[in-house]
Amino acid sequence: MKNKYAKITLDGLIFNNPTFMLVLGTCPTLGLISSASSALGMGLTVVVILTLSNMLISALRKVIPNEVRIPSYIVIIATLVTLARMILNKLVPDLYDSLGGFLALIVVNCIILGRAEAFANKHNVLESAVDGLANGFGFTFALTVMGIICEFLGKGSLFGVQIMSFKISALATPAGAFIIYGLSIAVFTYIIDTFMRSRRIRGNKVARENLLDSKTVDAQPVKEA
C-alpha cells in the first residue's frame, strides 16, 4: 500500500518528470526561468492548482459523462486559475506582475490537463492528490533548478540578490532559456539512463523491475478504484 504512493511520487518527481522527461508545459518554463524567484512562484502556483484540480476531477470522475469530460476539466481548471489569479493579485502583487501573462496561461498548461486525463479520472482522490503534488513538485524542481542556473549565469544574481558582476546577458533572454532547457534535458536523461544501467549491471533485477514498473504505472488500471 505504501509502495504504491512511493511509486506515484517517484514517477512524478523523477521518472516521468513533466518538464524533463515528458517535455510538457514548455511555454511558462521557457518564459520564466530567467528569474529564479518567478520560476519558483510559478512552480508553487502550479502545485496548488494541479493538486486541487486532480482532487476535484477525481472526486467527480463518476459524475462527469465521458463525452464531455474535456470541457468539464477545462472549466474546473479555469475556475481554479481565476481564483489563483485573484488571490495572487491581492496577496503577492510582485509575483503577480512577474508572472504576467503566464498566470492566465496555466489553463492551457498541458501538465494539468494531461494529469487529469491520464491519472485523475482513473484513480481515487487520495492517489490523485499525491500524483498532483508529485508532478507539481517535479515541475517546480525543474523550473527552480533551471531558474537558478539561468539567473546566476545571465544576471549574476540569485533570487534577486546580486552575487557577482560577471554575467552572460544572452542567457537571461529566451535564447538562453532554450539552451539551458535543452542542456538540462540532456543531462537529466543522461543521469537517469546511467542510473538505470548501473542497476542492470549490478544484476539487481528486482529493483530494476520496480523502476520499470513505476514507469508504466499510468498504463495499468487500478482495480480497486
Partner 1 sequence: MATFIAIVLAAVLTNNFITVKTYGICPFLGVSKKTSSAVGMGVAVTLVMVLATAVTYPIYEYVMVPLGFDFLEIIVFIFIIASLVQMIEKIIQKLSPSLYKAMGIYLPLITTNCAVLGVCEMVIGDMSNIIGDATMNMGWAVLYALFAGLGFTLVMIIMSGMREKLNCVKVSKSLAGFPISMITASFICMAFTVFTYI
Residues that bind partner 1 (CB under 8 A): 23-24, 26-27, 30-31, 71, 74-75, 78-79, 81-82, 85-86, 101, 104-105, 107-108, 110, 113, 170, 173-179, 181-183, 185-187, 189-190, 193
- Written in H, E and C, the secondary structure of the chain is CHHHHHHHHHHHHHHCCCCCCCCCCHHHHHHHCCCHHHHHHHHHHHHHHHHHHHHHHHHCCCCCCHHHHHHHHHHHHHHHHHHHHHHHHHHCHHHHHHHHHHCHHHHHCHHHHHHHHHHHCCCCHHHHHHHHHHHHHHHHHHHHHHHHHHHHHHHCEECCEECCCCCCHHHHCHHHHHHHHHHHHHHHHHHHHHHHHHHHHCCCHHHHHHHHHHHCCCCCCCCCC
Give whichever of 137 and 181 is closer to partner 1, judged by the CB atom.
181
**Smallest gap from residue 161 Cβ to partner 1 (A):** 25
**Smallest gap from residue 172 Cβ to partner 1 (A):** 11
Give whichever of 126 and 187 is closer to partner 1, judged by the CB atom.
187
Give whichever of 7 and 199 is closer to partner 1, judged by the CB atom.
199
**Smallest gap from residue 81 Cβ to partner 1 (A):** 6
Give whichever of 163 and 183 is closer to partner 1, judged by the CB atom.
183
**Smallest gap from residue 93 Cβ to partner 1 (A):** 15
